Amino acid sequence: MNSIYKIFFGIKKRRVYRVKKRVKRKNLNYLKYKESAVILVKNKLEYFNQFYNYKYNRVTIKNQKTRWGSCSKKGNLNFNYKIVLLSQKQIDYIIVHELCHLKEFNHSQRFWDLVALTILDYKEIRSSLRTNSLQL
């Protein structure tokens, strides 16, 4: 093995190690916040659904890279564990957003009108969330 190869190989190995460490830290955060996210999300869903009264199935907390939440056609709701780190207003908006997808599976005006029934300033909150890279 010549020395250039050794140096290159050494750098590569160190990089792999660093990436692994970062992934591990992310998973630790997921484990750390998952339980409180489950409780928070379920309580908020129950609260807002007293108003909307929609039917949903499974509620799952995920470790997603790009989304705050999602709603499947089967009525399963998914939320990012990082929701626990947001402000109350932002949390409420995300919960209501996914809840309203149970009725309107799109982002039509009818959908936003439903959201606005409980979150009057949804536009502002929505743009405040846009500064984060995650989406809905």
x/- mask, Zn ion, residues 77-116, rule CB under 5 A, reads ----------------------------------------
Contacts of 64 (CB under 8 A, 6+ apart): 78, 80, 134
Torsion angle of C-alpha atoms 42, 48, 53, 55, degrees rounded to 10:
-30
Q: Strand pairing of 59-62 and 77-80?
A: parallel
Question: Phi first, then psi: what are they for 65, rounded to 5°?
Answer: -85, -35
Decide whether 134 or 136 has the Cβ nearer to Zn ion.
136
Please report how close the Cβ of residue 130 comes to Zn ion at its closest, in angstroms: 13
CA 96 to CA 108: how far, in whole Å?
15
Measured from the CB of residue 50, what is the shortest distance to Zn ion in angstroms?
Answer: 21
Q: How far is the CB of 98 from Zn ion (least distance, A)?
A: 7
136 part of the interface to Zn ion, by CB under 5 A: yes
How many residues touch Zn ion under the rule CB under 5 A: the total is: 1
Is 35 or 124 the residue whose CB approaches Zn ion more closely? 124
Of the two residues 36 and 75, which places its CB atom closer to Zn ion in the complex?
75
- The binding site for Zn ion (CB under 5 A) comprises 136
